[in-house]
Amino acid sequence: MKKVKIHDKTFQLFIPYEKIRASIELMAEKMNKDLADKNPLFICVLNGSFMFAAELFKRIDLINSEISFVKLASYAGEHTTGNVKQLIGLNEKIEGRTVVVLEDIVDSGITIDNIQDQLKKLKPKEVSVATLLLKPDALIKEVELDYVGLEIPNDFIVGYGLDYDGYGRNLIDIYSVVNE
Ligand code: 5GP
Ligand code: MG
């Protein structure tokens, strides 16, 4: 079994690239039908989703489609108790658009729920969510996911854009942590 060591942890091969690619191809096929004539705006949530977004977007054969990139910035607001995550980097007009959020992984669902709330305030025509990976057992928020690549167990993973403390994003396959 192929293994990699990142910082203090060992990871073993979990999802080979071919399987990731096949799930993205299926997703793109479905989107090409669903989004035809909708002039969709894809929004890639950085950093983790960059590889998934690239793989997906080159398979979208709708010429009238756009992609943009956002990040979530955490800040301690003056009037907030905890950390509020604000969407930054969005320059496109969202009002009246069909928006498709591209996420690497949905775990508790808190991040995607927060992103959806912020986008809805900008009055899009519709927002759908595509996630490459979903941990169904970790979900605590009720989120509606329109496209799910692969469901995985509740283990920590790296690779294909996902990191462990900055490292591991360049791995073409997905690895899961070995509990030692
Ligand atoms: P949620 O808000 O759904 O709990 O978490 C979503 C975010 O947590 C993801 O976008 C991702 O950045 C991070 N995350 C969740 N699970 C994993 C994992 O197994 N590995 C890595 N590298 N990041 C994860
Ligand atoms: Mg993410």
User: Average of pLDDT values for 27-56?
Assistant: 98
Query: What pTM, to 2 d.p., does this model score?
Result: 0.95
User: Average of pLDDT values for 67-89?
Assistant: 76
Q: How large a percentage of the chain has pLDDT more than 70?
A: 94
Q: Tell which atom from ligand 1 comes closest to the C-alpha of 155.
A: 19
Quick check: CB of 101 below 6 Å from ligand 1? no
What 3-state class would DSSP assign to 162? strand
pLDDT value for 78: 52
Mean of all residue pLDDT scores within the chain: 94
Domain boundaries, the chain: 18-74+84-156
The CATH topology of domain 18-74+84-156 is Rossmann fold (3.40.50)
Quick check: CB of 110 below 6 Å from ligand 1? yes
Which of 1-15, 78-92, 93-107, 165-179 shows the lowest per-residue confidence on average (mean pLDDT)? 78-92
Taking the C-alpha atoms of residue 91 and residue 71, their distance in angstroms, rounded to an integer, is 12
Taking the C-alpha atoms of residue 44 and residue 161, their distance in angstroms, rounded to an integer, is 12
Q: What is the DSSP string of 28-82?
A: HHHHHHHTTTS--EEEEETTTTHHHHHHHHTT---SS-EEEEEEEEEEE-TT-SS
Quick check: CB of 116 below 6 Å from ligand 1? no
